[in-house]
Amino acid sequence: MPDILQVSDLHFGGVFLPDRAAGVHRVAERRRPDVVVIAGDFTQRARSRQFNAARAFIDRFEAPIVVTPGNHDLPVYRLIERTVAPYRKYRDSIEASLDQVHSFDGLTIVALNSTRPLRVTTGSLSSSQLDFAADAFGRAPAGDLRIVVTHHHVAYPPAFRAPRAMIGGERVVSRLEQLGVRVLLAGHLHSTLIGDSIRLMPRLVAGVARRDGLIISQSGTATSTRGRGPERGKNSFNYISIGPEQTVVTHYGWNQSNQAFESVADHAFPSGAGAAGDEPADARGGEEG
Ligand SMILES: [Fe+2]
Ligand SMILES: [Fe+2]
């Protein structure tokens, strides 16, 4: 089963840290992931030269890449461009399609664009985008692990309360749980959060029974000075190893002394949808780490 390297919030521009980028590539060269997911905010200000630098970063990976845009990939301060062609530079340099389906061995990944050009920082997913995911998973081989990638986060670390960035995130997670999605990958918060949705988001949509949670894997900023909350001044990313029985999400953090990303914690979950929901949330163990 595949390994996924998940990074986000590169923020090429004035806040970008080249030594962290080299550190991400060194981990990729050592662990050789099957897929690299980049969950948005490639640039700081959506400038062409920033996108070009991000493209060069992408092209150094050997593995196939799955991407989704972040709010910083839109020209926030260039109102005409934001109104007329908000994704033009992103499409030219990074990826032409905003919502995509990727099939790998045993894995179907749907990347959904959560940015909204008329909003500055918050995001959302429309019903038609969730229908797009449902259709993609409906066509996928039976038994494929189902993964969704988006930029805006849906949950917060306990010590870091802030306004929720994904408008309607509860509705989104509820729908994804019903679709049998096993892993949701996101960024934007600039602070790592890894856990089961039933534990992290105990109340979703009223009246909808929940049996199966999904693994929420939110990565911090891999290569910028913009770490927030518990990761203020820190850099991090996640690495997901999917085995037949167990999925392990490893949180990597930058060690300034060693000038390298190092494993901080392994968070282990059952791989199969359903396994996490068979017991009451407070009786399950293993996902904290
Ligand atoms: Fe960001
Ligand atoms: Fe963002």
Q: Which domain holds residue 146?
A: 3-283
In a domain, residue 58? The reply is yes
Residues with CB under 5 A from ligand 2 (ion): 41, 70-71, 188
pLDDT in tens, 146-156: 999 999 999 98
Section 112-125 average pLDDT: 93
Cα–ligand 1 centroid distance for 72 (angstroms): 7
Q: Give me the percent of the chain exceeding a pLDDT of 70.
A: 93
pLDDT in tens, 194-222: 999 999 998 887 777 787 899 999 999 99
CATH number at residue 65: 3.60.21.10
Give the ligand with the smallest distance to the CA of 228: 1
Cα–ligand 1 centroid distance for 160 (angstroms): 16
pLDDT in tens, 136-148: 999 999 989 999 9
In a domain, residue 51? The reply is yes
pLDDT at 278 over 50: no
**SS3 string of the chain?**
CCEEEEECCCCECCCECHHHHHHHHHHHHHHCCCEEEECCCCECCCCHHHHHHHHHHHHCCCCCEEECCCHHHCCCCCHHHHHHCCCHHHHHHCCCCCCEEEEECCEEEEECCCCCCCCCCCECCCHHHHHHHHHHHHHCCCCCEEEEECCCCCCCCCCCCCCCCECCHHHHHHHHHHCCCCEEEECCCCCCEEEEHHHHCCCCCCCCCCCCCCEEEECCCCCECCCCHHHCCCCEEEEEEECCCEEEEEEEEEECCCCEEEEEEEEEEECCCCHHHCCCHHHCCCCCC
In a domain, residue 288? The reply is no
Q: What is the pTM of this model?
A: 0.92
In a domain, residue 64? The reply is yes
According to the model, what pLDDT value does residue 285 have?
30
In a domain, residue 289? The reply is no
In a domain, residue 274? The reply is yes
If one counts the domains in the chain, the total is: 1
